[in-house]
Structure 1
């Protein structure tokens, strides 16, 4: 279902567009959650720690690709809002070809360099072999991560957030079934979990690709669209590169934090892995809302509907506050039970550390909600450098504070946990200051 976000009530439009994205990303999170649950319960604590330790590296390179796709989608949204379908198709051709080639090269390089990367983040010897196997399989299937995100970014940019959801649901179901079969029936361990994820992603991405170009006529490429337009390529390159850098910094910061976590041993790694899954699901709705808001802003900028952009911003603030307060209460109260989903109740130290993490982080979800809003807003108006600055501030502060605070014996792991909201708060403050300055200078909707 294609949605023109330049019309209608901003709040209703944003929520209706966000909801399928949220459900879809919940199923995408289900990939990794099922991996963790199956491994933690049927293989063991060390295997869970291996998947968790590998997850940050996997996320880093996946988000390089996702960032490239997200950047291109801003250009798609702009031309869709402008109703310039010829330039939209040229943008699709240039971005799909260039990002696809990049992904293939990256995949090959990564498969042959997992050993060095795992050593770089201080991966403990007892989980090193499983971590290496997991990453090599995942990196070998990066092309499917690209295909799905390229197609879903295209569909979402023209207001269709439902179709990617359907393929994600299918992929999640396949992933769950294959996880259980490969691990429990065939005893394939971590290799089986990684293989199940790649097979599920492959099916999802291929079906999404076929649907996008078969069912949406105005994005179907024609012979005259298969050209290299210098101006469009420049615009795609700028948006894709800066958004990818932003996403890379976000995940690189997490890789650095993972390296600090790894120095505390397997219990802390397992706790961080399990609590991180809960945490990521808790603020996933506001992350999706921020991405939806970016599409909303870009479409309205293309249509020159500047008043609607400001209307949407006010709506976004109210929505984020209400949702985050509810989610903070739910996670804080239920942190212990949520941890027991991922680890055996006998692992009391792992559960204790995870509850400690969630009890601190959950109080501050509204801060990450505002940060995702700022990311979407500045990306949508074309100020990608601002989104990049906020990311550097947030993650840079987090890594620095995690390193400093965790080095104090009386604080230890708590220092890593407290570094998260400190980074969010500082980035939000800077984002608000930049917004007020741009508003005063009348730069918010400048071409």
Structure 2
């Protein structure tokens, strides 16, 4: 058995660019919210905030395209199987294209259902529908982009993945400023800017990978070989179910908060944007674990696997403390970046404490999801989400009498249940390796 010991420094050098890469993922929607917030148009601010949550939620549903691609790509790189390496990208990219086209085809019922779940007020419907209408054309590019970024990250080409995202965000920021603050196109300008940025991710991705990828005549048959998708769908079916329950929680959370008025709805939408930033921070750490755990699995290196899990926990604890401190110190500038409306800021500040607590209760869930993705085992992730959904529902129904604070308390309970369930699942899984780990010196 070949082992590869990873030090804390090596883990950090891999993890930090992935954290930045993760933070850049939701930045397109967040930039939209920030730029439109500078106009002082409260209706446009609310519409963009709800529209961004709509797309973040939809794309979370298909996030398995990036997560599982990272795991399969990491394992293929260890085996040095050229065909497996190429198809770790080709198959999810094809699926992303097909799913994106289906989303475009059914954009009207999806928009209607999404706005119902998000309880969008009538005053916002025109603007939020415009925003969603333009951005929906980017769905195939977003999902193909997930496969591209996941493949690069699995190969350890984090700098390339990061550069692609940085370039797309620069394009988005420039176009946002030109279309909104310069030309006054408002919500439509914001949406078009983001659409162009989403297309650019795929364009840059294939431009950078052009020389790495090869196409042979017999690949066409392999690409459409139904049996070859069995493992991919087996893993991703569980991730898909997991994300459906996450979607249900987000919709239930938003609709319940909307019962307390449009100001609370908009404040919750802004806080959810911050929550997405936190989630992607921990998702970046989780991606580092996916790569290292995937390589350990490919080498059948149980000792290396245990070492990587230990490093994940250490960096997770450090990130939780750092994130909570940053959230407290930068509360006011962070909120003001999203809106200049003093009433909306007051409502957001009222419930901001729950966002400070979120990393402590929900952070480890995303780290463990990275570990299980590296193992290409998604059932524990699915089960944890289903259990957390039950906890969320029970809490929400029993404490909704305390208002929007009760909604956030239920959400915190949801994150805590996810983290606890996945921690126990991981401990059960590696228990048989504990004796081997104790006999081995593993310097950090």
In structure 1, how many angstroms separate the alpha carbons of the residues matched to 2:296 and 2:334?
40
* Structure 2 counterpart of 1:417: 408
Is 1:268 the counterpart of 2:264? The answer is: yes
Is 1:302 the counterpart of 2:298? The answer is: yes
1:367 to 345, 361, 371: 361
Q: For 1:142-193, what per-residue CA distance to the aligned partner results, in whole angstroms no more than 9, with x for missing partners?
A: 1110222111111111111111111211111111111111112322211111
* Structure 2 counterpart of 1:240: 236
In structure 2, how many angstroms separate the alpha carbons of the residues matched to 1:400 and 1:110?
32
2:371 to 377, 396, 405: 377
Distance 1:42 1:6, change over 3 A: farther
Query: In the TM superposition, what are the counterparts of 1:166-181 in structure 2 within 5 Å?
Result: 166-181=163-178
In structure 1, how many angstroms separate the alpha carbons of the residues matched to 2:183 and 2:428?
60
Is 1:84 the counterpart of 2:93? The answer is: no
In structure 2, how many angstroms separate the alpha carbons of the residues matched to 1:154 and 1:421?
32
2:351 to 345, 357, 369: 357
Give the secondary structure class of the aligned counterpart of 2:215.
coil
CA contact (8 A) 1:91 1:236 kept: no
Query: In the TM superposition, what are the counterparts of 1:291-330 in structure 2 within 5 Å?
Result: 291-330=287-326
Is 1:394 the counterpart of 2:388? The answer is: yes
TM-score by length of 1: 0.89
Please state how far the C-alpha of 1:44 moved relative to its aligned partner: 1.3
Query: In the TM superposition, what are the counterparts of 1:41-440 in structure 2 within 5 Å?
Result: 41-42=38-39, 44-111=41-108, 113-212=110-209, 214-216=210-212, 219-228=213-222, 229=225, 232-344=228-340, 347-348=342-343, 350-406=344-400, 408=401, 411-440=402-431
CA contact (8 A) 2:168 2:198 kept: yes
Distance 1:43 1:215, change over 3 A: farther
In structure 2, how many angstroms separate the alpha carbons of the residues matched to 1:77 and 1:325?
29
Report the count of equivalent residues: 433
TM-score by length of 2: 0.89
Distance 1:248 1:80, change over 3 A: farther
Please state how far the C-alpha of 1:399 moved relative to its aligned partner: 4.8
In structure 2, how many angstroms separate the alpha carbons of the residues matched to 1:116 and 1:92?
32
In structure 2, how many angstroms separate the alpha carbons of the residues matched to 1:231 and 1:116?
34
Give the secondary structure class of the aligned counterpart of 2:140.
helix
Q: For 1:23-43, what per-residue CA distance to the aligned partner results, in whole angstroms no more than 9, with x for missing partners?
A: 223333332222112222215
Distance 1:195 1:403, change over 3 A: farther
In structure 1, how many angstroms separate the alpha carbons of the residues matched to 2:66 and 2:417?
28
Please state how far the C-alpha of 1:400 moved relative to its aligned partner: 4.5
Q: For 1:52-96, what per-residue CA distance to the aligned partner results, in whole angstroms no more than 9, with x for missing partners?
A: 222232123222333233223322222222222222224433333
CA contact (8 A) 1:179 1:192 kept: yes
Q: For 1:359-384, what per-residue CA distance to the aligned partner results, in whole angstroms no more than 9, with x for missing partners?
A: 12313413322111211122222321
Give the secondary structure class of the aligned counterpart of 1:223.
coil
Please state how far the C-alpha of 1:265 moved relative to its aligned partner: 2.3
In structure 2, how many angstroms separate the alpha carbons of the residues matched to 1:174 and 1:360?
33
Distance 1:432 1:119, change over 3 A: closer
CA contact (8 A) 2:361 2:415 kept: yes
* Structure 1 counterpart of 2:28: 31
Which residues of structure 1 form unaligned runs of 5+? none
Give the secondary structure class of the aligned counterpart of 1:143.
helix
In structure 2, how many angstroms separate the alpha carbons of the residues matched to 1:224 and 1:251?
39
RMSD: 2.5
In structure 2, how many angstroms separate the alpha carbons of the residues matched to 1:18 and 1:279?
20
Q: For 1:189-236, what per-residue CA distance to the aligned partner results, in whole angstroms no more than 9, with x for missing partners?
A: 111111110011112221112222x232xx423223333355532112
